[in-house]
Amino acid sequence: MSQLNFHKKSFQVTPPQRILPLLEKTKDAYLLWYGYYQIIPKTHRHSLGQRIDTLFVEIIEALATASFLAREEKQPWVRLAIRKVDVLKIFLMILWEAKSLDNKKYIAISLKIDEIGRMLGGWNGQLQKQNSPHKGEK
Protein backbone atom coordinates (compact mmCIF):
# COMPACT_ATOMS: atom_id res chain seq x y z
CA MET A 1 0.00 0.00 0.00
CA SER A 2 1.53 3.29 -1.00
CA GLN A 3 1.60 6.19 1.36
CA LEU A 4 0.70 9.67 0.33
CA ASN A 5 3.27 12.29 1.16
CA PHE A 6 1.48 15.61 1.57
CA HIS A 7 4.60 17.35 2.78
CA LYS A 8 6.33 17.29 -0.59
CA LYS A 9 3.42 18.62 -2.61
CA SER A 10 3.60 22.28 -3.36
CA PHE A 11 0.29 24.05 -3.20
CA GLN A 12 0.00 27.22 -5.14
CA VAL A 13 -2.24 29.86 -3.65
CA THR A 14 -4.05 31.75 -6.35
CA PRO A 15 -5.30 35.25 -5.70
CA PRO A 16 -9.07 35.55 -5.42
CA GLN A 17 -11.04 36.59 -8.46
CA ARG A 18 -11.86 40.26 -8.76
CA ILE A 19 -15.15 40.93 -7.03
CA LEU A 20 -17.69 43.69 -7.36
CA PRO A 21 -16.20 46.91 -5.88
CA LEU A 22 -19.26 47.31 -3.63
CA LEU A 23 -18.78 43.78 -2.32
CA GLU A 24 -15.09 44.50 -1.75
CA LYS A 25 -15.91 47.65 0.27
CA THR A 26 -18.50 45.76 2.30
CA LYS A 27 -16.00 42.99 3.02
CA ASP A 28 -13.46 45.61 4.14
CA ALA A 29 -16.05 47.25 6.41
CA TYR A 30 -16.91 43.86 7.88
CA LEU A 31 -13.25 43.10 8.61
CA LEU A 32 -12.97 46.46 10.38
CA TRP A 33 -16.15 45.68 12.35
CA TYR A 34 -14.86 42.21 13.22
CA GLY A 35 -11.85 43.77 14.92
CA TYR A 36 -14.15 46.02 16.95
CA TYR A 37 -16.55 43.16 17.70
CA GLN A 38 -13.80 41.26 19.51
CA ILE A 39 -13.25 44.10 22.00
CA ILE A 40 -16.70 45.57 22.68
CA PRO A 41 -18.02 44.92 26.21
CA LYS A 42 -19.60 41.52 26.77
CA THR A 43 -22.90 43.17 27.68
CA HIS A 44 -23.27 44.17 24.03
CA ARG A 45 -21.04 41.64 22.27
CA HIS A 46 -23.54 38.80 22.65
CA SER A 47 -26.62 40.85 21.88
CA LEU A 48 -26.36 43.97 19.73
CA GLY A 49 -22.84 43.10 18.58
CA GLN A 50 -23.99 39.67 17.40
CA ARG A 51 -26.92 41.23 15.55
CA ILE A 52 -24.62 43.76 13.83
CA ASP A 53 -22.30 40.93 12.84
CA THR A 54 -25.24 38.98 11.40
CA LEU A 55 -26.44 42.03 9.46
CA PHE A 56 -23.02 42.40 7.86
CA VAL A 57 -23.10 38.76 6.77
CA GLU A 58 -26.64 39.14 5.40
CA ILE A 59 -25.62 42.27 3.45
CA ILE A 60 -22.66 40.42 1.94
CA GLU A 61 -24.95 37.51 1.02
CA ALA A 62 -27.47 39.84 -0.65
CA LEU A 63 -24.74 41.62 -2.62
CA ALA A 64 -23.11 38.37 -3.70
CA THR A 65 -26.48 37.03 -4.82
CA ALA A 66 -27.33 40.20 -6.75
CA SER A 67 -23.96 40.23 -8.45
CA PHE A 68 -24.60 36.82 -10.06
CA LEU A 69 -28.19 37.37 -11.17
CA ALA A 70 -29.54 38.65 -14.46
CA ARG A 71 -30.05 42.42 -14.50
CA GLU A 72 -33.84 42.20 -14.18
CA GLU A 73 -33.54 39.98 -11.07
CA LYS A 74 -31.02 42.08 -9.12
CA GLN A 75 -33.19 44.86 -7.71
CA PRO A 76 -34.96 42.95 -4.90
CA TRP A 77 -31.56 41.86 -3.55
CA VAL A 78 -30.14 45.37 -3.81
CA ARG A 79 -33.17 46.74 -1.97
CA LEU A 80 -32.76 44.08 0.71
CA ALA A 81 -29.13 45.13 1.17
CA ILE A 82 -30.22 48.80 1.43
CA ARG A 83 -32.73 47.96 4.18
CA LYS A 84 -30.15 45.98 6.09
CA VAL A 85 -27.56 48.77 5.78
CA ASP A 86 -30.12 51.22 7.19
CA VAL A 87 -30.75 48.95 10.20
CA LEU A 88 -27.00 48.43 10.60
CA LYS A 89 -26.48 52.20 10.85
CA ILE A 90 -29.08 52.45 13.61
CA PHE A 91 -27.64 49.54 15.60
CA LEU A 92 -24.12 50.98 15.36
CA MET A 93 -25.45 54.33 16.54
CA ILE A 94 -27.05 52.64 19.56
CA LEU A 95 -23.79 50.84 20.32
CA TRP A 96 -21.93 54.17 20.14
CA GLU A 97 -24.51 56.04 22.25
CA ALA A 98 -24.26 53.27 24.86
CA LYS A 99 -20.51 53.95 24.98
CA SER A 100 -19.65 50.43 23.82
CA LEU A 101 -18.00 51.84 20.71
CA ASP A 102 -15.72 54.87 21.01
CA ASN A 103 -15.91 57.94 18.76
CA LYS A 104 -12.91 57.03 16.62
CA LYS A 105 -14.19 53.51 15.87
CA TYR A 106 -17.75 54.74 15.29
CA ILE A 107 -16.57 57.36 12.80
CA ALA A 108 -14.30 54.90 10.98
CA ILE A 109 -17.00 52.27 10.52
CA SER A 110 -19.73 54.85 9.78
CA LEU A 111 -17.73 56.40 6.95
CA LYS A 112 -17.36 53.01 5.30
CA ILE A 113 -21.03 52.16 5.76
CA ASP A 114 -22.14 55.56 4.42
CA GLU A 115 -20.09 54.94 1.27
CA ILE A 116 -21.64 51.49 0.92
CA GLY A 117 -25.09 53.06 1.29
CA ARG A 118 -24.35 55.63 -1.43
CA MET A 119 -23.06 52.94 -3.77
CA LEU A 120 -26.14 50.79 -3.12
CA GLY A 121 -28.41 53.77 -3.79
CA GLY A 122 -26.61 54.42 -7.07
CA TRP A 123 -26.88 50.78 -8.09
CA ASN A 124 -30.58 50.74 -7.19
CA GLY A 125 -31.19 53.91 -9.23
CA GLN A 126 -29.34 52.46 -12.20
CA LEU A 127 -31.40 49.27 -12.00
CA GLN A 128 -34.65 51.28 -11.79
CA LYS A 129 -33.74 53.12 -14.99
CA GLN A 130 -32.73 49.93 -16.77
CA ASN A 131 -35.80 48.00 -15.66
CA SER A 132 -38.39 50.73 -16.29
CA PRO A 133 -40.13 51.04 -19.65
CA HIS A 134 -38.75 53.72 -21.96
CA LYS A 135 -40.59 57.02 -22.35
CA GLY A 136 -43.46 56.77 -24.77
CA GLU A 137 -43.84 53.02 -24.20
CA LYS A 138 -46.74 52.24 -21.91
What integer pLDDT is reported at residue 131 of this predicted model? 83
What integer pLDDT is reported at residue 136 of this predicted model? 46
What residues of the chain score a pLDDT lower than 70? 1-18, 134-138
What integer pLDDT is reported at residue 109 of this predicted model? 98
What integer pLDDT is reported at residue 14 of this predicted model? 54
What integer pLDDT is reported at residue 77 of this predicted model? 97
This prediction's pTM = 0.82
Structural domains in the chain, sorted by start:
21-130 (1.20.1440.60)
Residue 92 and residue 127 in contact, taking contact as beta carbons nearer than 8 Å: no
- Residue 90 and residue 35: Cα distance in Å, rounded? 19
